Amino acid sequence: MKIAVIPARGGSKRIPRKNIKDFCGRPMIAWAISAAKESSLFDQIIVSTDDEEIAELARSWGAETPFVRPADLADDLTPTVPVVAHAVKSCLDFGWVADYVCCVYPCVPFLQVGDLITALNLAQTRNADFVYPVTEYAHPIQRAMRQLSGGKMQFFSPEHELTRTQDMEKTYHDAGQFYWGKASAWLEHKKMHTDGIGMPIPNWRVVDIDSEDDWIRAESIFKVLGLQRGFERKMSGKTTTPRRIYSKSSAFYIDIKRDFFDANDSLLIEARRQNELYNRQPQRTLCKICNQELPTGSDLLSHQVRYIVCTNCGHLNGANIDTESFVKNVYIEADGEDYAKDYLDTNFATRANQIYVPKLDFLCSSLPANVHIKLLDIGCGSGYFVYAALLKGFEAKGVEINKTMIDFGNEKISHVLKQRPLIHSAESDFLDSIANSDATVISAIGLIEHLRDPTAFFDAFHRSGTQYLFYSVPMFSLSVMLENIFPNIFPRQLSGGHTHLFTEQSIDWLHKNRKLNALAEWRFGTDVMDLYRSMRVEMTKKGTSSRMISFLDNGLGKNVDQLQAVFDTKHFCSEIHCLVVKQ
């Protein structure tokens, strides 16, 4: 169980009645409640208050106020941890046993739902006591000064007077928005900051509101950024610009994809085998996305396979056709046992929780509020996404051509939920399951790049009565270039089942020509992790000393997420998740 606790006392002094004062058309606390609701993360959203007016208003916006905060926890000097600990104890009295509790401050109109989702994922994957957003100081604090009598200025750290800004260590401060924490950590009164992990967010999303001047400034910024209009479009389901979030923790990669480091040679042999088979297929002449004629020659040669960029839609095409016999060899022969082996995770629930629950949370928080989720997951594999949806209480089923994965997934899901929601389908019947679907949302996570004819998939979606499609595809990015210059490293982006890649241009072309409106986009990647992996494996092969490997681990390995975020926000990352709706 996940619980949000919004601490909102009635005695604010610098801005009287701050928590319920109107901010851009709604009470301030309503923005925090709405963000918590929109995230779909919480089983209970509780406002801890000593003030009946605040309690009544909180209830009108959908929060609960099951207890009154004691007076000794409602003065100016009461810290956050005892207030949340009291709320957790009170919840236990109601039988609400939470594993994670998020303290969401009441004055956070700039709070992004994606940050709540990302922070919870980080807390779970890192097994952290606390995770909270931090932001970089706008100016190096090493250059902070004090003013002396007479007006003269003095550096706190004179030794940094001439140090270049780019040579100074980055410093951060608490964003003051929310704190995810284990329920046990709150109850044990652990220290949020020093026992927790900081999650960097951009400066523009962090605005302190402690004075009337702060309030006016915050409202002005809020209106300029259009955040109010975005919220109203979300509630109505009418959007013109997609919601965009970026990045995720790479901790899952190390845990689940460890064999990319340890089993490089065997994975490389299999990739080369599939590439050799692919090279024996007939040459492709038409783009896989727009069906226009491809130029002659090639733009990229990687692991002995030629790739061509379509001059019409910008899609990156493999130079050969992935024929029916090729697809059967890769995915279906012997019930697909060879392909399935990389996706049959004995830690089924952990994989679902670490990788697929965040995807579901993104979907839930991006759909219009009035959409009831009934999910059909196409190309469901072993059913991790279906399992995540069922755990959330949604109706969900999956369709897959690989029988080995279907049997494995149904066995795992039925053991916990007493259901077998995964359906084995022949490739010839695959599209009919889409066209005849009565689902409100069709999902295709990591599927479209494996299809022989992606256009047929989108045709089937348009024939269906389903309005919403949630899909993910791999993108042309830095990882592809790394694969091109590291021929002895297993290529995970382009090879075998990935015979083509989307680009920002081909995504735009697809949405425009298929009459799809993008509601939300989530970009993240493993480009920097692939750089780290390629360097580490290659250095190990060459007998590099453990001391040098540790330099790489500390210098690059520990900074993967921060570096990857740069590529993600610049839209040059290896994966995108899109929620689209029919026009």
pLDDT, tens only, 426-450: 877 889 999 999 999 999 999 999 8
Q: Give a yes or no: residue 511 inside a domain.
A: yes
**Helical H runs in 515-559?**
527-541, 546-555
Q: Tokens 């040098």 map to which residue?
A: 548
Give the phi and the psi of residue 462 in degrees, each rounded to 5. -70, -30
pLDDT at position 357, please?
Answer: 83
Give the phi and the psi of residue 512 in degrees, each rounded to 5. -65, -45
pLDDT above 90: percentage of residues in the chain: 54
Q: Locate 112 and state its tokens.
A: 């992004």
Q: Give a yes or no: residue 557 inside a domain.
A: yes
Average pLDDT, the chain: 88
User: Quick one: pLDDT band at residue 459, thresholds 50, 70, 90?
Assistant: very high
pLDDT, tens only, 295-347: 998 999 999 999 999 999 999 999 999 888 888 787 666 554 555 455 566 67
Residue range 83-98: mean pLDDT, rounded: 91
Domain co-membership, 308 together with 206: no
Domain co-membership, 278 together with 344: yes
- Asked whether 529 and 250 are in contact (CB, 8 A), the reply is yes
Contacts of 382 (CB under 8 A, 6+ apart): 340, 343, 344, 345, 348, 405, 406, 408, 409, 412, 422
Domain co-membership, 471 together with 539: yes
User: Quick one: pLDDT band at residue 541, thresholds 50, 70, 90?
Assistant: very high
Range of the domain at 476: 251-582
DSSP state, residue 336: G
The CB density around residue 240, as the number of other CB atoms within 10 Å, is 8
Longest alpha-carbon distance in the chain:
85
Domain co-membership, 209 together with 345: no
| CATH code for the domain of 523 | 3.40.50.150
Range in 345-349, 395-399, 472-476 the model is least confident about: 345-349
Give the residue from 179, 164, 51, 35 showing the smallest Cα distance to 111: 35
User: Quick one: pLDDT band at residue 190, thresholds 50, 70, 90?
Assistant: very high
pLDDT, tens only, 74-89: 888 889 999 999 999 9
| Residue 93: C-alpha distances to residues 66, 96, 185 (Å) | 10, 7, 18
The CB density around residue 312, as the number of other CB atoms within 10 Å, is 17
With 0-12 / 13-18 / 19 or more C-beta atoms within 10 angstroms meaning exposed / middle / buried, residue 266 is exposed
DSSP state, residue 498: B
Q: Residue 172: in which H helix or E strand, if any?
A: strand 172-174
Q: Give a yes or no: residue 517 inside a domain.
A: yes
Alpha carbon 569 to chain centroid distance?
13
The CB density around residue 135, as the number of other CB atoms within 10 Å, is 20
Q: Give a yes or no: residue 435 inside a domain.
A: yes
User: Quick one: pLDDT band at residue 500, thresholds 50, 70, 90?
Assistant: very high
DSSP state, residue 428: G
| CATH code for the domain of 219 | 3.90.550.10
pLDDT, tens only, 18-68: 888 999 888 999 999 988 888 888 888 999 999 999 999 888 888 899 999
pLDDT at position 336, please?
Answer: 47
Q: Give a yes or no: residue 336 inside a domain.
A: yes
- Asked whether 274 and 497 are in contact (CB, 8 A), the reply is yes
Check residues 197 and 252 and name the one with the higher pLDDT: 197
Q: Is the pLDDT of residue 466 over 90?
A: yes
Which of 229, 260, 295 corresponds to the end of one domain? 229
Range in 173-177, 351-355, 400-404, 428-432 the model is least confident about: 351-355
- Asked whether 197 and 249 are in contact (CB, 8 A), the reply is no
Q: Is the pLDDT of residue 184 over 70?
A: yes
Domain co-membership, 455 together with 538: yes
Alpha carbon 299 to chain centroid distance?
31
- For CA atoms 153, 154, 157, 162, give the dihedral sign: positive
User: Quick one: pLDDT band at residue 229, thresholds 50, 70, 90?
Assistant: very low
Domain co-membership, 221 together with 333: no
Q: Give a yes or no: residue 240 inside a domain.
A: no
Q: Give a yes or no: residue 30 inside a domain.
A: yes
Domain co-membership, 225 together with 283: no
Domain co-membership, 94 together with 212: yes
pLDDT at position 70, please?
Answer: 92
pLDDT at position 86, please?
Answer: 95
Q: Tokens 């990935």 map to which residue?
A: 498
Domain co-membership, 8 together with 57: yes
Give the residue from 449, 451, 410 showing the smallest Cα distance to 430: 451
pLDDT above 70: percentage of residues in the chain: 93
Which of 229-233, 241-245, 328-332, 506-510 has maximum average pLDDT? 506-510
Residue range 479-485: mean pLDDT, rounded: 94
Exposure on the CB side of residue 35, measured as CA atoms within 13 A: 27
Q: Is the pLDDT of residue 236 over 50?
A: no
> What torsion, rounded to 10 degrees, do the Cα atoms 105, 111, 115, 117 define?
70
Q: Is the pLDDT of residue 9 over 70?
A: yes
Domain co-membership, 213 together with 328: no
Residue range 188-210: mean pLDDT, rounded: 88
Range in 217-231, 280-294, 422-436 the model is least confident about: 217-231
With 0-12 / 13-18 / 19 or more C-beta atoms within 10 angstroms meaning exposed / middle / buried, residue 282 is exposed
Contacts of 248 (CB under 8 A, 6+ apart): 118, 121, 358, 524
DSSP letter string, 361-382: HHHHHHS-TTPPPEEEEET-TT
With 0-12 / 13-18 / 19 or more C-beta atoms within 10 angstroms meaning exposed / middle / buried, residue 147 is exposed
Domain total of the chain: 2
pLDDT at position 260, please?
Answer: 81
Domain co-membership, 185 together with 274: no
Residue range 539-565: mean pLDDT, rounded: 92
Residue range 402-419: mean pLDDT, rounded: 92
Give the phi and the psi of residue 2 in degrees, each rounded to 5. -115, 130
Q: Is the pLDDT of residue 496 over 80?
A: no
Range in 298-312, 494-508, 514-528 the model is least confident about: 494-508
Q: Tokens 């005695």 map to which residue?
A: 11
Contacts of 562 (CB under 8 A, 6+ apart): 200
Check residues 296 and 114 and name the one with the higher pLDDT: 296
pLDDT at position 256, please?
Answer: 61
Q: Is the pLDDT of residue 95 over 80?
A: yes
DSSP state, residue 239: -
Rounded Cα–Cα distance for residues 137 and 149 (Å)? 27
pLDDT at position 233, please?
Answer: 47
Give the residue from 543, 576, 532 showing the smallest Cα distance to 253: 532
Rounded Cα–Cα distance for residues 330 and 324 (Å)? 10
- Asked whether 90 and 69 are in contact (CB, 8 A), the reply is no
Domain co-membership, 366 together with 219: no
Q: Give a yes or no: residue 234 inside a domain.
A: no
